[in-house]
């Protein structure tokens, strides 16, 4: 068997142990004589599984009981609409912190539901530095403030959770949920699609403070897009994406076995520090982001000579280092090193980069 190191931003590499477990359980899940995919979502079996997956996530992040945990359809992008649809009715504005491609897309979508106010914007720093919470311009009567904790494309991440006292803080953690410990109590709502750091495409995790479920959504909001409907039905209002849900559960379990989120964070810190150090010590590779705000999940870098980009990617492929091409908006390279990327994968990349620099 030959597995590559896959540095894709998403769908991304999964832990080998998770894939093996899924393979082992494929034909006969827990002595049911069926695959998990064939089990009715309203069966006792599935309900038990769903409850235990929720409990695992609650344990991993120490989620307090006044928060609901939802497993929804539609990816990160559906949340760009669900957040304003469910939470902005009756408020004069919603505040958005724009720090890169994803937060700006969330902002554009929110404009369709009311007055989206720009609280801060990283474009004046060319997305190389982040506006910290004390600089945010927040209208007192806004419905909430939304920010993106890790900008997957720009490779920029908040070094600490912003301290906001007057408005519910809402965050898109699609590319870094479970990569580090967070204090859930600081948030009104957290969302993350699964295909980056949590599992596979098809399921989105939403952690919402229960009082926010009481806000009345706009009259025409479809039932499928109402948080309260999903909370009431434990995310089983319609047929959920059972297999992605199960697989995400296997990843939660894997994180527990690795020693939990604190261990993951330690691991991620070490992987990212090594890679940035290599980049900073070289004149051949560069990353211009303020070191305090560099993403530990998505490491972007440029080659000093762009003409070498194609050769870099082709040679990397030959070494089993796949999907290093940067997003077209940013150019250069991007190594996504989520929880499932072993330190050995980062070591192999560093070694390759050194060799390439010497011989190019």
Ligand X SMILES: *Cc1c(COP(=O)(O)O)cnc(C)c1O
Helix, strand, coil percent values for the chain (each to nearest 5):
40, 15, 40
Least distance to ligand X from the beta carbon of 260, Å?
23
Question: How far is Cα 94 from Cα 92, in angstroms, rounded to an integer?
Answer: 7
Active site residue 102: yes
Of 102, 149, 245, 271, the catalytic one is 102
Cβ closer to ligand X: 75 or 155?
75
3 state SS of 99:
coil
Active site residue 29: no
Least distance to ligand X from the beta carbon of 5, Å?
20
Of 29, 136, 149, 172, the catalytic one is 172
Supply the DSSP string of 76-90, one letter for each residue: HHHHHHHHHHHH-TT
Whole-number Cα distances in Å, 279 to 64, 102, 272, 286, 359:
40, 25, 11, 6, 17
Of 136, 149, 180, 196, the catalytic one is 196
Cβ closer to ligand X: 109 or 352?
109
Least distance to ligand X from the beta carbon of 106, Å?
7
Cβ closer to ligand X: 118 or 348?
118
Least distance to ligand X from the beta carbon of 182, Å?
15
Cβ closer to ligand X: 69 or 106?
106
* Residue 30 burial (CB count, 10 A): 12
Active site residue 196: yes
Question: Which two three-digit tokens encode residue 138?
Answer: 């927040």
| Residues at the interface with ligand X (CB under 6 A) | 10, 75-77, 102, 148, 152, 172, 174-175, 193, 196
Q: Where are the alpha helices (DSSP H) in 207-342?
A: 227-232, 242-258, 261-280, 309-318
Catalytic residue numbers?
102, 172, 196
């Amino acid at each position: 068997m030959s597995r590559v190191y896959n540095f894709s931003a998403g769908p991304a590499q999964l832990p080998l142990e998770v894939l093996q477990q899924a393979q082992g359980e494929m034909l006969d899940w827990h002595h049911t004589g069926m695959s998990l995919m064939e089990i009715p979502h309203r069966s006792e079996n599935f309900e038990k599984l769903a409850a235990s997956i929720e409990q695992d996530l609650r344990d991993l992040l120490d989620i307090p009981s006044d928060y609901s945990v939802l497993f929804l359809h539609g990816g990160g992008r559906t949340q760009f609409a669900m957040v304003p649809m469910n939470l902005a009715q009756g408020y004069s504005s919603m505040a958005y912190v724009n720090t890169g491609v994803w937060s700006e897309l969330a902002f554009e979508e929110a404009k369709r539901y009311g007055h989206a106010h720009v609280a801060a914007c990283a474009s004046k720093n060319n997305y190389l530095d982040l506006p910290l919470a004390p600089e945010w311009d927040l209208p007192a009567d806004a419905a909430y403030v939304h920010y993106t904790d890790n900008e997957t494309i720009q490779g920029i991440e908040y070094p600490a959770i912003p301290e906001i006292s007057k408005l519910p803080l809402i965050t898109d953690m699609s590319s870094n949920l479970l990569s580090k410990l967070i204090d859930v109590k600081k948030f009104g709502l957290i969302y993350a699609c699964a295909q980056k750091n949590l599992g596979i495409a098809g399921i989105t995790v939403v952690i919402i403070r229960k009082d926010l479920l009481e806000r009345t959504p706009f009259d025409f909001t479809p039932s499928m897009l109402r948080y309260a409907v999903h909370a009431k039905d434990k995310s089983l209002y319609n047929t959920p994406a059972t297999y992605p849900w199960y697989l995400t559960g296997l990843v939660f379990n894997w994180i527990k076995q690795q020693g939990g989120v604190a261990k993951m964070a330690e691991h991620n810190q070490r992987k990212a520090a090594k890679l940035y150090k290599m980049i900073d010590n070289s004149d051949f590779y560069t990353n211009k982001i303020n070191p305090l705000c560099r993403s530990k999940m998505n490491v972007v870098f440029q080659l000093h000579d762009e003409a070498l980009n194609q050769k870099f990617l082709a040679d990397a492929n030959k070494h089993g280092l796949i999907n290093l091409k940067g997003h077209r908006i940013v150019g250069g390279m991007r190594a996504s090193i989520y929880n499932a990327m072993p330190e050995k994968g980062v070591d192999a990349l560093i070694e390759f980069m050194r060799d390439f620099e010497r011989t190019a």
